[in-house]
Amino acid sequence: MTGTAAPLLRIRDMSKTFPGLKALDGVSLEVHPGEVVAVLGHNGSGKSTLVKILAGVHQADPGAVVEVRDATGEPVAGPAAREGLHFIHQDLGLADILTTVENLGLGATRRGRALAPVRGAAERRRAQRLIARFGAGLDVTVPVGRLSPAQRTIVAIARALDGWTRPDNVLVLDEPTAALHGDEVQVLFEAIRRVAASGAGVVFISHRLDEVLELADRVVVLRDGRVVAEQATGELDHDTMVTLIAGRRISDGATADPAATRRDAPGAPVLTVTGVSGAEISDFSLQLRAGEIVGIGGILGSGREQLAPMLFGAQHRSGGRVEVDGRELVADDTRAAIESGMAYVPADRRRRGVVMDMSVRENLTLPLMRPLRRRFGRLDGKAERAQTRSWMRTVGLRPPHPEQPLKLFSGGNQQKVVLAKWLRVRPRVLLLDEPTQGVDVGAQAAIYELVLAARRDGTGVLLCSSDTKELVSLCDRVLVLKDGRVVSEVPRAALTEERLVRDELGLQVAGGHIGTNGPE
């Protein structure tokens, strides 16, 4: 709905200059009551910077105007204006060492109950109720740092909505669905629609264009910090949005066909997993061959999120065997896994993928220095810099500044560095967890190309993804997990999104509508 009422939020002429870079350049934007406005743009286009300025994390350059009004059109000033804006940031802003109960308690703190002690059972029940609204059953008493990315997203959403006080507020969500499965996304969308229907305004940032088409009334497209388009969603389709974001026509990579890029039939087994068990995983077995991409699908809690870290040794496994090229790996030993030729690109890049204070060059070089060593063990700086430049071009890093610490890059650009870092070592086995989470359509296509190239080189790829479109695009076959066990194996010929969703949810074939996707 695009109301004619006065906007709840009006931004005019917002710019932001970081040293050597103009991240925002004269951005203007309005959000009306009941309206969902999507802000789109390539990685590094300035979306998060805009959100961080609204949240008071960064200060805009002089001259910017931000007006917050209530439903009667009256301007709201000072702290009340800030209280009228609620945020879910890309990094979720949770305290990892605190439990869900305590993180939700922090929400209470903001609303003036700072000194109220966390009242054991009552607070726990309140936390469980809030979380249950999002269809998630999670242990609200363990530190949030031990939850999966999707579970943490749900805690952040519950916290933002718990802080909701008035219908004329504005909810700002920066890529809230990046770690969520389709089913969980629908739960979130229902919550967002309820918020908008009550008269609030919503700003929604996402790279998932189908979701934008489904949820948003209007899109505002940023390119290199400027607004380059503003249009009602009803006038747009997927391809037009891709073109507006990239500034040119590109494929979004969703049509990648692994069969077309196959060099040979898959080779010898590179990864053999037998009867592996651990948290949320029971008796998992798999044989992954050289030059094969095997997908792992499953909803939140299916075990999908635990599998890759468990095989890599980053998460405890209580039984079973993992062999790379026929050699057994010691459980829970990531160093042994790396030495065996295994590489792992985690979903949660901020915590496990990279060293944020190090530069792009250092992060890229870190896992494999041997080829760059010269006499007396010194690194060949020239070769290192050339290699860094080449990888930056390959993944389209923006801005192309090899010496800049990783923490100063946008989320999507950080993801590109994590991927490049592990592809550089040419692993035997590549474990990918949500590899395109948070990356823009152009980078997604580039990442798919890199994964297919790794496979052509004989790498065995295990692709764990909540994105069924991604699994269908890339995989030779997909194993679907449910309640920690493999419930189906879908070969390439039978691979469709509908089939995967059906298996992931454990749905029965109903009236021939679902599951009529050809032979197995």
Cα torsion at 329, 335, 337, 340 (round to 10°)?
A: -90
Binding string to ligand ATP for residues 435 to 454, with x set by CB under 6 A, is what?
-----x--------------
Q: Which residues contact 443 (CB under 8 A, 6 or more apart)?
A: 42, 43, 395, 396, 412, 415, 416, 436
* Residue 186 parent element (H or E): helix 182-197
How many C-beta atoms surround the C-beta of residue 401 within 10 A? 16
Does 49 bind ligand ATP (CB under 6 A)? Our answer is yes
Decide if residue 408 touches ligand ATP (CB under 6 A).
yes
Contact range with ligand ATP by CB under 6 A, out of 36-44, 60-68, 155-163, 493-501? 36-44
Site track for ligand ATP across 8-27, x = CB under 6 A: ----------x--x-x----
Smallest distance from ligand ATP to CB 444, Å: 11
Task: Indicate the residue among 152 and 398 with the shorter CB distance to ligand ATP.
Answer: 398
Site string for ligand ATP, 499-518 (x = CB under 6 A): --------------------
Which residue's CB atom is positioned nearest to ligand ATP? 412
Asked if residue 416 lies in contact with residue 439, where contact means CB atoms within 8 angstroms, the answer is yes
Residue 344 binds ligand ATP, judged by CB under 6 A? no
State phi, psi for 147 to the nearest 5 degrees: -85, 165
């390439």: which residue's tokens? 492
Bond into 405 cis (ω within 30): no
Choose among 275, 290, 277, 316: nearest CA to 462.
Answer: 290
Amino acid at 126: R
Instruction: Choose, by CB under 6 A, the member of 413, 437, 466, 488 that binds ligand ATP.
Output: 413
Cβ atoms of 400 and 331 within 8 Å: the answer is: no
When asked if residue 46 is in the footprint of ligand ATP (CB under 6 A), the reply is yes
User: Under the criterion CB under 6 A, does residue 41 sit at the interface with ligand ATP?
Assistant: yes
Return the range that interacts with ligand ATP (CB under 6 A); candidates 236-244, 291-299, 406-414, 489-497.
Answer: 406-414
Pure H helices in 341-480:
360-365, 381-395, 411-423, 441-456, 468-474
- Report if residue 54 touches ligand ATP, rule: CB under 6 A: no
- Min dist CB 226 to ligand ATP, Å, is 12
DSSP designation for 99: B
Residue 45 is a binding residue for ligand ATP (CB under 6 A): yes
Rg of the chain over all Cα atoms, to the nearest angstrom: 23
Other C-beta atoms within 10 Å of 18: how many?
Answer: 12
Binding window for ligand ATP (CB under 6 A); candidates: 47-55, 123-131, 163-171, 284-292:
47-55
Residues 87-126 touching ligand ATP, rule: CB under 6 A, are: none
Residue in the structure block whose two tokens are 């075990």: 303
Distance CA 108, CA 123 (A): 11
Binding residue (CB under 6 A) for ligand ATP from 15, 35, 36, 43:
43
Q: CA torsion angle for 468, 305, 413, 443 (degrees, to 10)?
A: -20
In the complex, minimum distance from the CB of residue 41 to ligand ATP, in angstroms, rounded to a whole number? 5
Residue 399 within binding range of ligand ATP, rule CB under 6 A = yes
Of 41-49, 114-122, 141-149, 365-373, which segment contacts ligand ATP by CB under 6 A?
A: 41-49
| CA distance linking residue 297 with residue 468, whole number of Å | 7
The least CB distance from residue 244 to ligand ATP, in Å, is 14
Contact positions toward ligand ATP, by CB under 6 A? 18, 21, 23, 41, 43-49, 398-399, 408-413, 440
